[in-house]
Amino acid sequence: MNALLEQSIHGLHASYLDGSRRPTDTLDECLAQIERTEALGAFVRLDQAGARRDAEAADERSKRGALRSPLDGVPIALKDNIITKGLETNAGSKILEGFVPPYDATLVTRLREAGAVIVGKTNLDEFAMGSSTEHSAYGATKNPWDPSRVPGGSSGGSAVAVAARQVYGSFGTDTGGSIRQPASLTGVYGLKPTYGRISRYGLVAYASSLDQAGPFARRLDDLAVLYLAVAGFDPKDATSHPEAVPDPNACTASGMAGLKVGLPSEYLTEGLDPEVESAVRLAAKWLEDAGAKIVPISLPHTRYALSTYYLIATAEASSNLARYDGLRYGPRAKSTDLARTIVESRHQGFGAEVKRRILLGTFVLSAGYYEAYYARAQKVRTLIRRDFEAAFQDVDLMLTPTSPVPAFELGARLSDPLAMYLADVCTLPVSLSGLPALSAPVGLSSAGLPLGAQLIAPWWQETRLFEAALVFEARTDLAQRAPPAAYAADSS
């Protein structure tokens, strides 16, 4: 594997400025690495022509000393539920097969303005509904640390593209943990910002009150570059917030001195893999060594987060996915009867997991059940948020596991939906509360699989996440250590 693929975004930028490297050279190396490791299934679609055009334009800017940003000429990838003008977007579903959007998502517009080279679209669980990237109409994605295991989901393709050195950064979406959990399972950094921090305009909707986009990277300074390129108010998104965006690059590990870090008892309980617990407690000691005070806390309504999430998220999914009827998007079933056309198009176009969630969401919204299920779930959601509000009166940050277990084997949970849903049990409360959270690699299991810790900050305080994660980055180089499959010519 070419050493260039281990370069940081800032390192690439410096090499472009001094003329020792051209963006087109970097693109060539990334495309070669994608081909070498294509058996991992990270990408569903490459845009080689568009990437080449953008890299050549970056070449010209670098010659003139007119690079737009540190991202100018840097190859990145996008989860395939992020709308891209002129490039097919199907959210891992056959029902959107052939759909070519006429516009870019706001975050894509901002990346293009920064000069980023978008190499292609990455695999995901269909409509972002899953925790393993096995529920895609285009096949499963494999974990580069062990290709017999899952990479997490639903943004598994974006996480693997970064971990396997195929690109220097990527973007995914997080509804209940879909950035943080695959980041943990593949040994990279993943950030879910505060809800409203990054525009949702141009994201294929799953659950609108929960969906949020965010970046993956192998280094925290790279994560900061990606985050800053897209964060900020967008008038096209009614849920976007005008709150100022502080620069995480100003953060230092010394910023932890005197801060209180809460360790919620509800996250360190039965069902947690012992190696995960040990890794999180080690991470707590690192923070303590950096000057933080570790404080035991309680978030009592955490126990209801799983059921609350799967009532609210499926209800919103049922509403959002009603637009896919075979008449405006994707393939249409052949029938002379309108109702039959819609039914058959949905039957053929949606996968089993999407159908399951639509049925559940339709049920909880139906007459006679709305108050008993959906309305009550919204009340419990408020209680979960209030737990965090109360706790943040006493602590500055929280530390928890990201995933209760390391990466599990492909196919191990496909026949047991509840077991699959439990993969996100540590990340769901944050999503329901709209908080910012970051998953950072903190160790390896005895089987050589990455273990991640989740940092949670108060609303709009993403910089605190970076300050704490810098402590971890100083203690372990795991995210900068290439997994075995990154070197493989064939990872099947």
Q: 489: pLDDT confidence band, cut at 50, 70 and 90? A: low
Do 99 and 218 have their domain in common?
A: yes
Secondary structure element (H or E) that encloses residue 310, with its range: helix 305-320
Q: Which of 359, 379, 399 is the last residue of a domain?
A: 379
**CA atoms of 460 and 202, how far apart (whole Å):** 22
Asked if residue 280 belongs to a domain, the reply is no
Residue 285 forms part of a structural domain: no
Both 315 and 233 in a single domain?
A: no
Q: Any catalytic annotation for residue 154?
A: yes
* Residue recorded with tokens 């970056």: 58
Same domain, 82 and 167: yes
Alpha-carbon distances, residue 287 vs 282, 300, 336, 444 (angstroms): 9, 24, 65, 19
Lowest-pLDDT choice from 147-156, 287-296, 315-324, 332-341: 332-341
Both 210 and 82 in one domain: the answer is: yes
Q: Which whole number is the average pLDDT over 93-122?
A: 97
- Asked if residue 274 is part of any domain, the answer here is no
% of the chain surpassing 70 pLDDT: 99
Does the structure show a pLDDT above 50 at 492? Answer: no
Instruction: Specify the pLDDT at position 3.
Output: 74
In a domain, 437, yes or no: no
**Stretch 419-427: mean pLDDT, rounded?**
93
Query: Span 39-68, mean pLDDT?
Result: 97
Cis, bond preceding 154 (omega within 30 deg of 0) = yes
How many other CB atoms are found less than 10 A from the CB of residue 401? 25
pTM of the model: 0.96
Relative to beta strand 437-444, strand 169-174 is: unpaired
In angstroms, rounded to a whole number, what is the distance separating the alpha carbons of residues 239 and 146? 39
pLDDT score recorded for residue 176: 97
- CA dihedral sign, ordered 90, 92, 97, 98: positive
Is 491's pLDDT higher than 80?
no
Q: Which domain holds residue 109?
A: 3-250+442-453+468-487
Residue for token pair 């617990």: 277
Mark which of 335, 353, 379 sits at the end of a domain: 379
199 and 93 co-located in one domain = yes
Q: Is residue 356 part of a domain?
A: yes
Residue-wise pLDDT tens digits, 278-287: 999 999 999 9
pLDDT at 328: 81
Same-domain pairing of 21 and 89: yes
Contacts of 146 (CB under 8 A, 6+ apart): 407, 447, 448, 449, 484
Q: Is residue 109 part of a domain?
A: yes
CA distances from 8 to 74, 75, 167, 469 (A): 10, 12, 11, 17
Does 82 score more than 60 pLDDT? yes
Q: Which of 62, 136, 158, 178 is catalytic?
A: 178
- The residue type found at 211 is D
Asked if the model's pLDDT at residue 434 lies above 80, the reply is yes
Q: What's the chain's Rg over C-alpha atoms? A: 21
- Does residue 1 register a pLDDT over 80? no
In a domain, 342, yes or no: yes
On the question of pLDDT at 9 being above 80, the answer is yes
- Band the pLDDT of 330: cuts 50, 70, 90: confident
Asked if residue 27 lies in contact with residue 56, where contact means CB atoms within 8 angstroms, the answer is: no
Phi-psi region of 71 (alpha: psi -120 to 50; beta: other; left: phi over 0): alpha
Same-domain status, 229 and 371? no
Q: How far is CA 258 from CA 253, 287, 298, 388, 420, in A?
A: 12, 11, 21, 20, 39
Could you tell me if 327 and 180 lie in one domain?
no
Mean pLDDT to the nearest integer, 378-383:
98
Q: Is 178 a catalytic residue?
A: yes
Confidence of residue 362 (pLDDT cuts 50, 70, 90): very high
| Count helices and strands in the chain by DSSP H and E runs | 15, 11
Please check the confidence at residue 452 and state whether its pLDDT lies above 60: yes
Name the residue with tokens 């996915």: 321
Residues 6+ apart with CB under 8 A from 308: 377, 380, 381, 384, 428, 432
Average pLDDT score over the chain:
95
Domain count, the chain: 2
> Which string of DSSP letters, residue by residue, matches 257-309?
TT-EEEEEGGGSSTTS-HHHHHHHHHHHHHHHHTT-EEEEE--GGGGGHHHHH
pLDDT class for 405, splitting at 50, 70, 90? Answer: very high
211 and 347 together in one domain? no
What pLDDT shows up at residue 490?
Answer: 45
Amino acid identity for residue 435 in this structure = L
* Residue 20 annotated among the catalytic residues of the structure: no
For 379, other C-beta atoms within 10 Å of its C-beta total 9
Whether the pLDDT of residue 327 is over 90: the answer is: no
Helix axis angle for 9-17 and 48-64, nearest 10°, is 50
- Tokens standing for 90? 């199907």
Letter string b/e over residues 175-186, b meaning 16 or more CB atoms within 10 A of that residue's CB: bbbbbbbbbbbb
Catalytic residue among 15, 79, 433, 491: 79
Place of tokens 């159908």: 355
From 15, 93, 132, 154, active-site residue: 154
Taking 80 as the threshold, does the pLDDT of residue 470 lie above it? yes
Provide the pLDDT for residue 276.
97
Cα 398 to Cα 287, 309, 389, 394, 454, distances in angstroms: 11, 21, 12, 11, 8
* Complete DSSP assignment for 63-116: HHT---STTTT-EEEEETTB-BTTB---TT-GGGTT---SS--HHHHHHHHHT-
Q: 320 with 193, same domain?
A: no
Same domain, 58 and 123: yes
Q: What is the token pair recorded at 406?
A: 């390391």
- In the chain, pLDDT over 90 holds for what percent of residues? 87
Residue type, 233: F
Whether 114 and 184 share a structural domain? yes
For residues 279 and 256, what is the distance between their CA atoms, to the nearest angstrom? 19
Does residue 353 surpass a pLDDT of 70?
yes
Query: What's the rounded Cα separation, in Å, for the pair 461 and 396?
Result: 10
Question: Is residue 182 one of the residues assigned to a domain?
Answer: yes
**Domain end point (choices 331, 364, 379):** 379
